[in-house]
């Protein structure tokens, strides 16, 4: 993995560090807000990628940060990570148009003044889709909200992950298991320490949250078996092995005195968890 990071450790960020992450997060959130009107039938993912690049680099003066958790940098091929139906993340931009009913997502990862922003949202293209796809997308969002609601000092990562997994599986969906498909701590490097699967996993054992830790909450879920794979193409897309639909939503959160702060909340967004 890249940057000589020790993935068995996690740093505590100072209030000044969190402020810088908040700036980066606010830019990432604004990019998603401004992309939203362009996500419609007939628009290509190449066009979405170009719009995102212009916003990140030209409008907001930030850097593209497309290194995945394995250390692979896809920034020469894409400025964003694309999710599209069975492509869970790192999809390659193409000239194929979006279609009504598609599940489509954009993960914006950037750096501003050396600090990382990293957030993802999904869209239902054309606002029409199957009942299964609509439910999967809603459960994906609420799985993230549940994870956020559980982040506080003293919380055990494994407990949070198991709660999220139980919630997702209660709808008959699966946690997607694929290389780089986990949450992570973040700071001046995209993944600067812990890797955090949002399902029961040995990597989560013994890890307890403390004030000042900054992590992503991003449960990857799918409608099929949960088995995934990475393709050997330039952006190394992660796909479901059985072709089933996959979704994820993501926010960066900083652990506070008695809970957490979402550092990249979009305008009007509500991350309250609703169990049903």
274: pLDDT strictly greater than 70: yes
Strand 260-262 with 63-64, pairing: unpaired
Express as a percent the part of the chain with pLDDT over 70: 99
Q: How many CB atoms lie within 10 A of CB 19?
A: 13
Pair 147, 252: CB distance under 8 Å: no
pLDDT for position 7: 93
Strands of the 174-175 sheet, one edge to the other: 174-175, 221-222, 246-247
> Range with the lowest mean pLDDT among 67-71, 78-82, 88-92, 97-101?
67-71
CA 245 – CA 83 distance, rounded (Å): 10
Contact 71, 1 (CB under 8 A): yes
d(CA 39, CA 198): 28
List, for residues 195-235, the tens digit of each pLDDT value: 999 999 999 999 999 999 999 999 999 999 999 999 999 99
- Smallest CA-to-CA distance from 135 within 100, 10, 143, 64 is with 143
- Is the Cβ–Cβ distance between 217 and 144 less than 8 Å? yes
Average pLDDT, the chain: 96
List Cα–Cα distances, 17 to 22, 99, 179, 231, in angstroms.
9, 41, 29, 36
Confidence of residue 72 (pLDDT cuts 50, 70, 90): confident
The beta-strand segments (E) located in the chain are 63-64, 81-84, 87-91, 103-112, 115-124, 174-175, 183-184, 195-196, 214-217, 221-222, 228-230, 238-240, 246-247, 251-255, 260-262
This prediction's pTM: 0.96
The CATH-assigned architecture of domain 15-262 is Alpha-Beta Complex (3.90)
- The domain spans of the chain are 15-262
The token pair that represents 117 in the structure block: 């922003």
Find the Cα–Cα–Cα–Cα dihedral 119, 250, 232, 3, rounded to 10°. Answer: 60
3-state secondary structure of 239: strand
What is the per-residue pLDDT across 240-265, written as a single tens digit (0 to 9) for each? 999 999 999 999 999 999 999 999 99
Residue of 276, 266, 270 whose CA lies nearest to 25: 266
């Amino acid at each position: 993995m890249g940057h000589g990071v020790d993935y068995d450790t996690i740093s505590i960020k100072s209030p000044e560090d969190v402020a810088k992450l908040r700036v980066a997060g606010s830019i990432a959130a604004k990019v998603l807000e401004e992309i939203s009107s362009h996500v419609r039938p007939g628009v290509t993912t190449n066009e979405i990628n170009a719009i995102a690049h212009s916003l990140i680099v030209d409008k907001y003066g930030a850097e593209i940060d497309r290194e995945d958790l394995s250390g692979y940098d896809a920034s020469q091929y894409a400025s964003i990570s694309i999710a599209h139906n069975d492509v869970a993340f790192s999809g390659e931009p193409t000239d194929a148009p979006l279609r009504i009913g598609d599940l489509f997502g954009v993960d914006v990862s950037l750096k501003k003044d050396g600090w990382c922003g990293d957030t993802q949202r999904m869209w239902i293209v054309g606002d029409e889709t199957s009942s299964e796809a609509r439910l999967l997308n809603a459960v994906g969002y609420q799985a993230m909200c549940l994870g956020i609601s559980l982040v506080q000092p003293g919380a055990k990562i494994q407990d949070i992950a198991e709660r999220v997994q139980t919630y997702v599986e209660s709808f008959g969906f699966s946690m997607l298991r694929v290389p780089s498909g986990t949450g992570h701590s973040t700071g001046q490097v995209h993944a600067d320490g812990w890797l955090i699967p949002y399902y029961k996993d040995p990597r989560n054992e013994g890890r307890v949250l403390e004030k000042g830790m900054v992590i992503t909450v991003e449960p990857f879920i799918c409608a099929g078996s949960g088995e995934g794979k990475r393709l050997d193409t330039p952006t190394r897309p992660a796909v479901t092995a059985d072709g089933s639909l996959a979704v994820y939503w993501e926010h960066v959160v900083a652990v506070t005195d008695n809970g957490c702060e979402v550092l990249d909340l979009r305008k009007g967004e509500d991350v309250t968890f609703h169990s049903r």
